[in-house]
Structure 1
């Protein structure tokens, strides 16, 4: 839940405690996908990148199309040798080659500089390049080798410098061009599938649906509306299953209700940081989604505020603390505890997906406990509303939890939440996620290799292992939760045999994570962090007028 520019503070009428630590990258050094001796002790850093929406030229004036086919083949072979790019489709690689352009560098000139923002992938065509990190020589790059591929995924910072040993010639690909190639391919295929289904779908005669209502004055049903093709009904059943027995009406002057000894969480977001990172749309989306949410498994948003430097979200305080810190202290959870956690998250996803909300940032850091030990999903900065059948292309999430289709920029939908659910099961039972490398690119490489042939640690028994493997299928259409029966398949999995789903939803099930909270001002389950001394500049563009 913690993030450098999105701090969250607990406060009551009597005392306050801040919580504003940085999210840090997890620094594992495994020789395989998973190291059972390594326990994650630091918070994971989430990533975000919005795809370019502007139109980009499909070919450059000095692109390979104006050169011999042999150059195109060498570029194609170079891309296909790359551990990440070789998983792309042949047509996608071909389109990328057509959009690459030539760049030359003189001896001693830097192609890539450590610490600077990256925006290009390169293929070395002629000459020699040395790779440095903190002025220490790491390796050399030979001709027809690809480098800098992480930069085409999102606007990352270069982790090393690349310097020309002699005069070199490279071929470059811009990130925005790559994003457009991937998006165009996915949209074309999606439209082909839709056209096929339209041709295959049974035809029905045009019809309407009449809506009737019976009242005390009219015993016979009275027509009150007529629905036509494309209109919907029954939407209130998605929000609540209870019937209101009384009305509470404020008078014309308005009413204000005050509670005594109530603690809230105040999320503080620096406006300048939001604008600098072009996250205005995400903050508005988070506010709207949380304001509309009515689920016991999703944190409540009460109000929002703003001033010249910050926007604020007044949230429900989850005084039981974070699942992440509890997992850190225990090392791992037993089956029953992990099952309860996953059950709460599954119910949250069931509610959100029915509302058309894609979450995209599941991890223990974003799971909070209330006073009864029930889990609530928090931090909706990456959540997004999408329509059924729609895909989105934003590169976001935490590296250890992102699904293959996000890495490959194929477009994604609700199925990425089911992938992350499988990763969560693994981490709860072992203390570490299954895919973790010494850097982000290594982590992505492990994810793309898949979980199918991976050896699980002995502490994960057969049933949760089967659930994890079915949730983490590389093909989204084969993932549990994304099949014909939807999320019901997850609830009926053998690992949940005997689990009281009705008791969970009714909150009558005793939580194995319930902690002793002495009162509404007991903040003892939160780590202490130094206050943020940074005083951001005023941001007066007005993007937050609705707050």
Structure 2
């Protein structure tokens, strides 16, 4: 009897455990269902989120990324005359509003002070619209007094009160307003336009850079370096702050850091008979510890902050990665690019005539008989065409000239054609012809029948290691070719990577590319939010290092199915990028985590690919240990991506799009006479 009772007891315990496990599984399923519903209900690019959003929920990129086209920055924008004096309470309110805002809180003290200085005041009467849903915006606002209401499609989202910030995305780029903001009472707002913000940020960054360059040129150790090398050092430096009486370096300690004083004063003292004897006082622009960069030395004196001090510092290890110490000369990264390149030749096919091109039509499905559209973007459509004589397929990019002029992209379009015309790489899509009429410009490109990496990634969720390594390696080869020709790409993402019939990956869309001289910086706000490097967001000036940052983001997205910094709200994406915290899923191995973290270092001068050995360091990283780079360059690696390419009609690997019915206006300004 006792044995039966014991057995029954064990069975009951087992049943309880099963019930608990089922309960836990149900809870898991419920949570996942809630997450899915949340993702479906989210919409992109909203400036006015509901306040009840739960930050703990994972953010997954489900739709194609928006792109930010570069806007020219006026060289001569007069901003000094716009200054408005603020009372101490007004200044206090503005500073608090900036500090509690996701994006603006990342500004430094000087940038915050400049913003406070240049904000203008405007009054709005009750019922007056400040922002209209669907309109384009170039102004951000801080509520100084009064109440406003935010509505979307007539539905009330939230209220705005004193100290709230809204519309701040507009100071970064030209974005459509996703909600209407109306004054409920008499309202006073502090306002700033995009051109003012960008000009003050850009000017500040340029001045700071010139100042640092001047400081470095006075250093005995660094005096033989050229501007390109000194620029690399600046990119690797960290800003550090010290309080009064903080010891920056201690006599007798191991020396491994070099410092430049940006603000404040430093006292230098030596130990004499057990007492600290002051030797000298150093101020702004002076530097110390340079011997630490080239010799194994101990500190010969103690340096103490006299009041608050701000310095720029560079560590020996980072310095050695940047400048080969033995001869203090920048490694020539063209020596490590061992591409067996074909001789330069014009890639435009002179025999290709516009009148010979005919559209390919869908043979089945809901769009049967309509033109095949391979892709639709913010700047045009890509259609599949063929020739009557040869039956060869081409992808024809067609862009409205009116829209190019409206978005001030004339220079970029002409440059895209110039780049593609000169390029001769198996990892970059070829240009076969360029044409124009009164409405459109046309670029006839190589057709990559395997489709977009973006589409394939969404189909399978995430790629395995072999496919990810292969895709990233093709991008490395494309970047090596472009950087050697001093071309900066700036728009890497799965949407801009195509598969050819053999499964090889090719880079497309050079609308944001730029020719750069080594050591120079460019200051456009350009790219795709999830892929933007911190220096672009901060308007600090950027160069080739941004391409290596985006490579790190791409590796993460290929392996995880979603980029590391994502949100339905762009300002949250930028805030996450500036925080720089990457959370890795458990299935990522150590080599993958290592290459991502090294490519996505916040300081551009410390990034893998942007140190003294250049792109060679990327190729030699252990994550690429299975890759035979020479075989890849000559097309002898069997592409693991080939299994992603479906067989069928020539357009089977592409999403389907309805035909474009929109009537496009003619444009006769003549900007395209050399196209």
TM-score band, normalised by the shorter chain? 0.7 to 0.9
| Number of equivalent positions | 482
- 2:156 paired with 1:118: no
- 2:155 paired with 1:136: yes
Does the 8 Å CA contact 1:437/1:443 hold for their aligned counterparts?
yes
- 2:526 paired with 1:396: yes
TM-score using structure 1 length: 0.81
Of 481, 493, 497, which aligns to 1:367?
497
- Cα-to-partner distance string for 1:493-526 (whole Å, 9 max, x where unaligned): 1211232111111211111012598999833322
Distance 1:333 1:369 in 2: 14
Shift of 1:158: 1.4
The change in CA–CA distance for 1:53 and 1:462 in structure 2 (over 3 A counts) is: same
- 2:186 paired with 1:167: yes
Match of 2:399 in 1: 269
Of 287, 292, 314, which aligns to 2:422?
292
Alignment of 1:118-517 (within 5 A): 118-200=137-219, 201-203=222-224, 241=340, 256=351, 260-451=390-581, 454-514=582-642
Distance 2:187 2:132 in 1: 16
3-state SS of 1:396 partner:
coil
The change in CA–CA distance for 1:520 and 1:326 in structure 2 (over 3 A counts) is: closer
3-state SS of 1:532 partner:
coil
3-state SS of 1:47 partner:
coil
3-state SS of 1:130 partner:
strand
TM-score using structure 2 length: 0.66
Distance 2:607 2:154 in 1: 45
Does the 8 Å CA contact 1:350/1:487 hold for their aligned counterparts?
yes
Match of 1:216 in 2: none
Does the 8 Å CA contact 1:261/1:520 hold for their aligned counterparts?
no
- 2:175 paired with 1:45: no
Match of 1:55 in 2: 76
Deviates more, 1:513-522 or 1:183-192: 513-522
Shift of 1:34: 4.3
Match of 2:257 in 1: none
Shift of 1:48: 1.6
The change in CA–CA distance for 1:264 and 1:519 in structure 2 (over 3 A counts) is: farther
Distance 1:422 1:234 in 2: 20
The change in CA–CA distance for 1:340 and 1:240 in structure 2 (over 3 A counts) is: closer
Shift of 1:371: 2.0
Q: Computing the radius of gyration over CA atoms, which structure comes out larger, 1 or 2? A: 2
Does the 8 Å CA contact 1:435/1:443 hold for their aligned counterparts?
yes
What is the RMSD computed on CA atoms of the aligned residues? 3.1
Distance 2:223 2:121 in 1: 52
- 2:672 paired with 1:544: yes
Distance 1:324 1:115 in 2: 28
Distance 1:385 1:520 in 2: 40
- Cα-to-partner distance string for 1:118-160 (whole Å, 9 max, x where unaligned): 1112121122222222222222222123222111001111122
Match of 1:222 in 2: none
Does the 8 Å CA contact 1:114/1:161 hold for their aligned counterparts?
yes
Question: Which residues of structure 2 form unaligned runs of 5+?
Answer: 1-42, 226-331, 353-386
Match of 1:218 in 2: none
Does the 8 Å CA contact 1:262/1:521 hold for their aligned counterparts?
no
3-state SS of 1:433 partner:
coil
Match of 1:535 in 2: 663
Shift of 1:202: 4.3
The change in CA–CA distance for 1:338 and 1:240 in structure 2 (over 3 A counts) is: closer
Higher relative contact order, structure no. (Cα contacts within 8 Å, ≥ 6 residues apart): 1
The change in CA–CA distance for 1:340 and 1:255 in structure 2 (over 3 A counts) is: closer
Shift of 1:297: 0.7
Deviates more, 1:439-448 or 1:375-384: 439-448
- 2:203 paired with 1:73: no
